[in-house]
Structure 1
Amino acid sequence: MDFDKILEALGVFGRYQKKLYFLICISSGFVGFFAVISAILLAAPEHRCKIPGYDNDTYRIQSDSHLALINSYIPPSSDETHKYDQCHLYAFNFTAVTFDNSSHPINATKVQCSEWVYSDEVFKETFTSKHNLVCGDSSKPSLAKSFFFVGILIGAFFFGNLSDGIGRKKTFYLAVILMLASTLALAFSPNYAAFIVFMTMIGATTQGVFLVGFVIGMELVGPSRRTFAGIVSEYFFALGLVILSGIAYFIRHWKYIEIACAAPFSIILIYWWLLPESPRWLITKRRYEEAKVILRKAAKVNRVVLTDDVLKVKEKEVDVPKDGKIWQLFTSRVLLLRTLVIFINWCMVTMAYYGLSLNSGNLGGNYYLNFFLSGLVEFPAYTLVILLVDRVGRKWLHCISMIVGGVFCLSTIFTILYLDEKYQAVTTALAMLGKLGAAAAFAIIYMYSAELFPTVVRNAGMGASSCIARLGAIAAPFIADSGDKIGGKMGKAFPLMVFGIATIVAGVLALHLPETLNQDLPETLEDGILFGTPAYKARKKDELALASINNAYTPDEETVTTNGEIVSKL
């Protein structure tokens, strides 16, 4: 059965496909809740050492008589944002202590805090504040965030292969059940080790829900609408980020935020009765009758008629080129350099996208407003991609998005270091424009790299690119949280500086890639080597001319076949 031919008769994006695709998009929005939820669950509220002997100590008790007991003093500097040490107390004898002009003890010893009190201005409680993951344990939240992306890497392999084996629908449903279980379990994590395990599981199951669901939707859409449909799902993902900021704002307690975000997955359980198996997958498994039932139902909803000729099963064996291996991309200097540039762009754009999202709360100003804007800015990013990608081209739109986004990120250095706090809105705006560029580039890199890899190694190339991208995502939390360790204005500027430099470098390197818009895509490794050169265009032109001549020639009744080749009587 020729499925693309069936889609032409059925409608490339008819009512039936739209309804099912909308269901998939809803699940994508729910997955969006968890893309950066770790930044909220593991946020470190403002804190200080607990005053010894004060059982009812709260963050706001900071009277002058007890100030010296609370924190060791950081000498004044040009950076007025430096605060008292959050990790040490003074240990001294009251009868022998002397103080300097600022009422701070001179002959005292600093000791590590064992207890802390936290501000409840932004959060009532986070997992970090509950388990005191600060000071000596301050790297643990970053590690936990990274394990979410480790889970994504594991899930991409596991659920991707499983969906090819047992089917899209069963895999999707299994992922939904596991995600509901793991997200609820996270809310009741008794310790840090359990939190990491459940966070990794959530990362893995997001791939089963989002990635497999995306495949189900795209396999029902005709080629002419796949780019549009693919980007539409990103809108719903961004909507999930926006809704998350609202949930966190009104609840403000990590456990109940997690439960509120997990609960909607129970709605997706009814998809078992609403979502069919992918007809394309059924056809590849030669389960033709099951595919025909689904296709006839789709035709009824789309108000079209599928003739028996369209649904006819052709048993003729077709020679299909075998897929190549990933190492073949490194056998030629041209392919090697091109592949490395693609890998670098995947890594840097993923690092910047997730890093800027995780860093939103560290920009200063209203914590929840920053998260809201971080999700909202993705809408114009995807709109620009839809409007310009087939006009400007993949290469130039990707490069512009990366470079301009990086420049905006670097610009925040000047607003943070040299402008007053009253210009905080300018810093936030520049960071959000940087996120806009990263989001747009992220959407483009999928289609661009798929078009650059030759057909024989396309699956291998895309799989390797996805793995490299996860390395950038795993590094993103450590870079985003590095600002807290550096402290002061430079600490706030450092993550944005790293993300800015990374995207600019990757964007400049991408200028060396060929354009794929309106080009015959490479099929073989030889095509991949020549792709983008005048020789490739001339070769494709000759092949097209030869194909036209062959199609124009129709053998008569006296034509015979020898060894599978058409040979003229003459």
Structure 2
Amino acid sequence: MKFDDVLRQIGEFGPYQKRTYFFAAIPAILVAFETLSVIFIFNIPPHRCAIPGYHGDSYYVKDGNHTLMLNHSIPKTKDGWDKCHVFTEALNDVIVANYHDVIEGTENGTVSGNESDVSQMTSYRTSDSLSTCDSWVYDTSIFESTIATDFDVVCDRSVYRPSSNMISEIGTLFGVFICGILADRFGRKIPFYIGGLALIGGGFGIAFTSNLITLNVCRFVLGIARMAVFMNGFVVGMEIVGPSKRVFTGLFIEVLWCVGELLLLLFAYSIRQWRYLEIALSIPSIGLMFYWWLIPESPRWLASRGRGEEALQVLEKIAASNKTQMPKVEETKGLFEADTQFSLRQVFQSRELRTRVLIVYSNMFVIAMVYYGLTLNVTNLGGDIFINFLIMAVLETIGFAVPTFLLDRVGRKPVYCVSILVAGLACVISLFPVMFGAPEWAVIALCMTGRLFVCTAYGVIYVYGAELFPTVIRASAMGTGVTVSRVGSLISPYLADVGILVGGKLENALPLVVMGSPAILVGLFSLWLPETKGTRLPETLEDLDRFRSKRRCGGCYGTGDEDIKEMTVEGEAEGLTATR
């Protein structure tokens, strides 16, 4: 008897399992906080160079004298005052001294000199040569302060934002490796708890940081912590429920992620200073300190490590809460069978498997890249950032709900292919509204359309991809796919900010085009993949080879309806993997 057979007999989703799943899954909300808060705390508001020597300068023009000083000191561009340059002569000591003669009360930012005195300053500028500025003033109408305004992450330093986001993703990628190793060796509970403590420390560390180096160290730690908490909480929740419930529970945790997005929006709208916002988002994580007593160790992991008595204790609690009977001891004989490990050599032995690996992994890579790229890009779109984020969160909820209703009705392949292709096309088409001067909302609408469909593709690929691999390597193959997807998310910060780094007319549309093009390409590749709905899933590499020779027929392995349903559900469940 296999472990899933035991769960079917004692109950697949009873009170004890629901309670454990709830406690294991609810941290997805906290992970969403720390993952997406960067959209608000690292926002770069409108800004310009500060007037040299005038410490009472502000982003808003106060009066006519202030305007004259701006004209004298800072060049104008088509978008307003220059963000990165001042007139070179405005930097010399003579001009600064004249400012101090003319300007009084600089501490409170008022100008008491008369207009004729201020206008005389223009006579000191004899050339239009420019120099880069080293101080800025910011629009504080939306955010009172952000990381970008406190540390002047603008102009030549604007690359620091995508670099900081990349460091966070490197931490997440590192977390995939280290947490996977720790979870296999020491169980799911220990790395989950350590990750929870790191989530608390990293969050408060960011809030009280005084420099960018410490900030990036904390973000790296948070990247590891997010993966430790989300992945191990996900696995504990999935491994304690029966096979027929794992598709639902695997997708429901994504809904909790979306709940986290909406709560984050509420916090960000209410708290406009980034340090206070980060503190408010970190306080709920303190509850993770009590999780050692709230969730059990995964009984499946205990069984796989030969700790049968401990595994049986958890299973007995499940049976007691479901008011069912445990199977007889002799029936649990196969409960401690080890999983077959994935070998790269096996990939290259089968042409069919090799092709599927390349297509599925390339799709995972691009989906993660586009998903996180569009998420980070919301701060660069025009319009109200809070409304944009709200639309994004609502569409993401819809996008993750779609697979639940369509996969078993329409099929995996059509839902996935349509989703990824429409997502890519919506992003690429955004180029045309910019080129032809369409309203700003047209680009936002296309971006949100891409966001909706890439979320659907995100939800489908981990079910569909798992069913394409044979049982003997399914879990390991999907685990490797998750690692590949993290590499895609690693480069997404630079893609999201490529418009800012390049500048020009296409600033808003360029990131969408860069992300949409590969999405269309891998979407076309995915058309080659077979449909898996209603077919018995491959168990061995030989099954794949036989499938290749009978590619044009349906139900290639010839099985009864009952077996088809059972194999499909188990395949879906086995392939669902924590990906945040």
TM-score using structure 1 length: 0.87
1:306 corresponds to which residue? 325
The reply to whether residue 414 of structure 1 matches residue 436 of structure 2 is no
Return closer, same or farther for 1:288/1:457 CA change in 2, 3 Å cut-off: closer
Which one-letter code corresponds to 2:452 in the other structure? L
Alignment partner of 2:146 out of 100, 122, 126 = 126
Return closer, same or farther for 1:324/1:519 CA change in 2, 3 Å cut-off: same
Local SS of the residue matching 2:75: coil
Q: Alpha-carbon deviation of 1:317?
A: 10
The reply to whether residue 360 of structure 1 matches residue 357 of structure 2 is no
Local SS of the residue matching 1:92: helix
The reply to whether residue 375 of structure 1 matches residue 393 of structure 2 is yes
Query: Retained in 2: the 8 A contact 1:326–1:457?
Result: no
Which one-letter code corresponds to 1:406 in the other structure? G
2:484 corresponds to which residue? 468
Local SS of the residue matching 2:520: helix
The reply to whether residue 176 of structure 1 matches residue 196 of structure 2 is yes
**Residue-by-residue CA offset, 1:116-155 (whole Å, 9 max, x unaligned):** 1111012111112111121111111100001111111111
Query: Retained in 2: the 8 A contact 1:68–1:104?
Result: no
Aligned pairs (5 A) from 1:92-491: 92=89, 107-302=127-322, 304-307=323-326, 309=328, 312=330, 314-315=332-333, 322-420=340-438, 423-491=439-507
Local SS of the residue matching 2:448: helix
2:101 corresponds to which residue? none
Local SS of the residue matching 1:293: helix
Query: Retained in 1: the 8 A contact 2:304–2:337?
Result: no
Q: Alpha-carbon deviation of 1:337?
A: 2.9
Return closer, same or farther for 1:114/1:263 CA change in 2, 3 Å cut-off: same
Q: Alpha-carbon deviation of 1:214?
A: 0.4
Return closer, same or farther for 1:213/1:17 CA change in 2, 3 Å cut-off: same
Which one-letter code corresponds to 2:21 in the other structure? Y
Query: Retained in 1: the 8 A contact 2:378–2:388?
Result: yes
Alignment partner of 1:84 out of 71, 81, 84 = 81
- Work out the percentage of aligned pairs sharing the same amino acid: 35
Q: Alpha-carbon deviation of 1:411?
A: 3.1
Distance (whole Å) between structure 1 residues aligned to residue 449 and residue 335 of structure 2: 53
In structure 1, stretches of 5+ residues that fail to align are 77-81, 548-570
Return closer, same or farther for 1:104/1:120 CA change in 2, 3 Å cut-off: farther
Return closer, same or farther for 1:131/1:305 CA change in 2, 3 Å cut-off: same
The reply to whether residue 531 of structure 1 matches residue 522 of structure 2 is no
**Residue-by-residue CA offset, 1:223-264 (whole Å, 9 max, x unaligned):** 112111100000001111222122111111221111111111
Q: Alpha-carbon deviation of 1:455?
A: 2.8
Distance (whole Å) between structure 1 residues aligned to residue 335 and residue 532 of structure 2: 32
Distance (whole Å) between structure 2 residues aligned to residue 218 and residue 319 of structure 1: 19
Query: Retained in 1: the 8 A contact 2:2–2:335?
Result: no
Local SS of the residue matching 2:87: strand
Distance (whole Å) between structure 2 residues aligned to residue 199 and residue 343 of structure 1: 27
Query: Retained in 1: the 8 A contact 2:41–2:274?
Result: yes
Return closer, same or farther for 1:532/1:35 CA change in 2, 3 Å cut-off: farther
Distance (whole Å) between structure 2 residues aligned to residue 392 and residue 106 of structure 1: 72
2:112 corresponds to which residue? none
Which one-letter code corresponds to 1:37 in the other structure? S
Distance (whole Å) between structure 2 residues aligned to residue 111 and residue 541 of structure 1: 72
Alignment partner of 2:517 out of 462, 484, 501 = 501
Query: Retained in 2: the 8 A contact 1:389–1:397?
Result: yes
**Residue-by-residue CA offset, 1:521-553 (whole Å, 9 max, x unaligned):** 2222232334365269799647889x9xxxxxx
Q: Alpha-carbon deviation of 1:486?
A: 3.1
Which one-letter code corresponds to 2:132 in the other structure? Q
Aligned residue-pair number: 532
Distance (whole Å) between structure 2 residues aligned to residue 157 and residue 342 of structure 1: 20
Q: Alpha-carbon deviation of 1:378?
A: 1.1
Distance (whole Å) between structure 1 residues aligned to residue 510 and residue 336 of structure 2: 56
Q: Alpha-carbon deviation of 1:85?
A: 2.4
Local SS of the residue matching 2:509: helix
Return closer, same or farther for 1:339/1:317 CA change in 2, 3 Å cut-off: closer
Distance (whole Å) between structure 1 residues aligned to residue 399 and residue 124 of structure 2: 52
1:10 corresponds to which residue? 10
Q: Alpha-carbon deviation of 1:487?
A: 3.0
CA RMSD of aligned residues (A): 2.8
Alignment partner of 2:534 out of 518, 526, 548 = 518
Q: Alpha-carbon deviation of 1:364?
A: 0.7
Distance (whole Å) between structure 2 residues aligned to residue 536 and residue 457 of structure 1: 25
Distance (whole Å) between structure 2 residues aligned to residue 462 and residue 105 of structure 1: 65
Query: Retained in 1: the 8 A contact 2:6–2:327?
Result: no
In structure 2, stretches of 5+ residues that fail to align are 96-118, 564-580
Query: Retained in 1: the 8 A contact 2:197–2:288?
Result: no
1:555 corresponds to which residue? none
Query: Retained in 1: the 8 A contact 2:13–2:241?
Result: yes
Return closer, same or farther for 1:321/1:26 CA change in 2, 3 Å cut-off: closer
1:48 corresponds to which residue? 48
Return closer, same or farther for 1:535/1:320 CA change in 2, 3 Å cut-off: farther
Q: Which moved more, 1:425-434 or 1:477-486?
A: 425-434
TM-score using structure 2 length: 0.85
Q: Alpha-carbon deviation of 1:381?
A: 0.9
**Residue-by-residue CA offset, 1:173-231 (whole Å, 9 max, x unaligned):** 11111111111111122211111111111111111110100000000111112111100
Distance (whole Å) between structure 2 residues aligned to residue 213 and residue 509 of structure 1: 33
**Residue-by-residue CA offset, 1:425-471 (whole Å, 9 max, x unaligned):** 34323211210111111111111222212233334422332222122
Which one-letter code corresponds to 1:461 in the other structure? A
**Residue-by-residue CA offset, 1:148-170 (whole Å, 9 max, x unaligned):** 11111111111111112111122
Which one-letter code corresponds to 1:239 in the other structure? V
Return closer, same or farther for 1:249/1:436 CA change in 2, 3 Å cut-off: same
Query: Retained in 2: the 8 A contact 1:36–1:354?
Result: no
Which one-letter code corresponds to 1:401 in the other structure? S
Return closer, same or farther for 1:403/1:70 CA change in 2, 3 Å cut-off: farther
